Every structure is written in C-alpha cells, then in structure tokens.
Homo-oligomer: A and B are copies of this chain.
Amino acid sequence: MINKSSLCQQAVDLLRKRIFSHALLPGQRLDEAALAADLGISRTPLREALKILSAEGLLHIKPRRGCFVAELTPADLEEIFPIMAMLEGRVAYEAALKAGPNELKRLDALHEKLEKYAAARDVDRYYEVNYVFHDALQELAGNRWLQHMIGDLRKLLRLSRHRSLKLEGRQLESLAEHRALMAALQRRDAPAAEEIMKNHLLAQLSALRRMASRQEVA
C-alpha cells in the first residue's frame, strides 16, 4: 500500500471503509482529536475528510456539537429503493441497447458465478459477484452520470447491513430475477430488461420489509 495521495484523501478512504465495515456504527459520534491521533494525522486534513464524508451523506455534522455517522431509517429505505429501481432500471435499458456479443459473454460469465454461489449457498460471494454484475452492467450502459447517481445512493445503503438475501427463499428469487434479466439482455429487449431490474430492486425492498416485520415480532 503506497501512501501517495493526500492525508485528507486517505482519511476519507479509511473512514468510508470503517463505515462500510460497521467498525463505525450509525449514530456514533466521532471525536476529532481522538480520530486524528488514531489515524496518526493532524486535525486539519481530518476535518477536511469529515466535510467530504458529510457532503456524501455518510456523516452528519452538527455545528459546534460534533460529527455523527449517518443513520438510515426504514422510511429512508422506502424512498431510496424506488429511486434505485428507476436508476438501475434505466441502466439495464441502456445496457440492453448497447450490449455486444463480447459484453454479453462477460455478463453471462458473471451470471454463471452467481448460479454457482447460489447453489453452494455462499451468500457472501453471491453478494459480492452480484455487486460486480451490477457494476459491469453500469459500465456497459456507459452513462457516467447515471453511474454517479447510483454510486451515491449505493454508498448510503452501505451504512447498514441489508442482507435481504438471508431471508428464506429470497436468494432463489434474486437468482430467478437475474436469470430473467440475462435473457432480456440477450434478446436485446431493453424495456423488458428495465422492468425486470426495477422489480429486482423493489423485491429487495419488499424482502427487507418482511425481515423488519419479522424482527419486530421476535
């Protein structure tokens, strides 16, 4: 690991990683002096990093009161997932239009991996490959701003663990949705791809709802 970039950028990267890995928990307060000492840097670049993360929505800065890791409520998820559904749906639409034989091969290879990990009940790898698949699709769509918007929201969603795949039967559903998506892409059926992707995202939200209500009971 080469430390070539600025300390501010390094701090941003590291804190993001800590937030995503839940080493820093939503709602938690960050002490500047302590964090700076921990990272081995001064408060100046650290504060710049905090401002950046705040602008990204991962932190909330309360003036004169400190910096807190952002929290997503169920109500937030109810808003964010439908937006993601639109954006990712659009990606699927554009990708279907642009998909050449080579790109389809690459996507299909990723899809095969999904099938494999699903069969092996390996939720973590499935999740990971799923992420790569969506990423590959975005690259194929080649819409930088769409990618940017989706990336912003995806970052926010990583604030808490949303492992809807752990819900009984959800992984199979997810896999079926991916299968249908691949079929639509191979048919170059852009509207179908869009619709399937939308429903894929909305199904995730639905699964999360079911998990939440189950936890309330328990």
Contact status of A79 and B145, CB under 8 A, knowing A48-B48, A86-B90, A90-B86:
yes
Contact B83 A145 (CB under 8 A): yes
Interface-side segment among A49-57, A106-114, A132-140: A49-57
Chain B CB within 10 Å, residue with most, of A48, A56, A90, A143: A48
Collect the chain B residues with CB atoms within 8 Å of residue A63's CB.
Answer: 5-6, 9
A44 within 8 A of partner (CB): yes
Contact A79 B143 (CB under 8 A): yes
Contact A8 B83 (CB under 8 A): no
Contact B146 A79 (CB under 8 A): yes
Whole-angstrom CA separation of A44 from B6 in the bound complex: 16
A99 within 8 A of partner (CB): no
A128 within 8 A of partner (CB): no
Whole-angstrom CA separation of A52 from B55 in the bound complex: 6
A144 within 8 A of partner (CB): yes
Would you give the 0/1 interface string for A72-101, flagging 1 where the beta carbon is closer than 8 Å to chain B? 000010011011001100100000000000
A158 within 8 A of partner (CB): no
A119 within 8 A of partner (CB): no
For the complex formed, measure the closest distance between the CB of A155 and the CB atoms of chain B, giving whole angstroms: 12
Contact status of A87 and B83, CB under 8 A, knowing A56-B55, A63-B5:
yes
Whole-angstrom CA separation of A128 from B8 in the bound complex: 39
CB-nearest residue of chain B to A90: B86
For the complex formed, measure the closest distance between the CB of A47 and the CB atoms of chain B, giving whole angstroms: 6
For the complex formed, measure the closest distance between the CB of A131 and the CB atoms of chain B, giving whole angstroms: 21
A172 within 8 A of partner (CB): no
Contact A83 B149 (CB under 8 A): yes
Residue contacts A-B, CB under 8 angstroms, 8 given: A48-B48, A48-B51, A55-B55, A79-B143, A83-B87, A86-B90, A149-B152, A149-B153
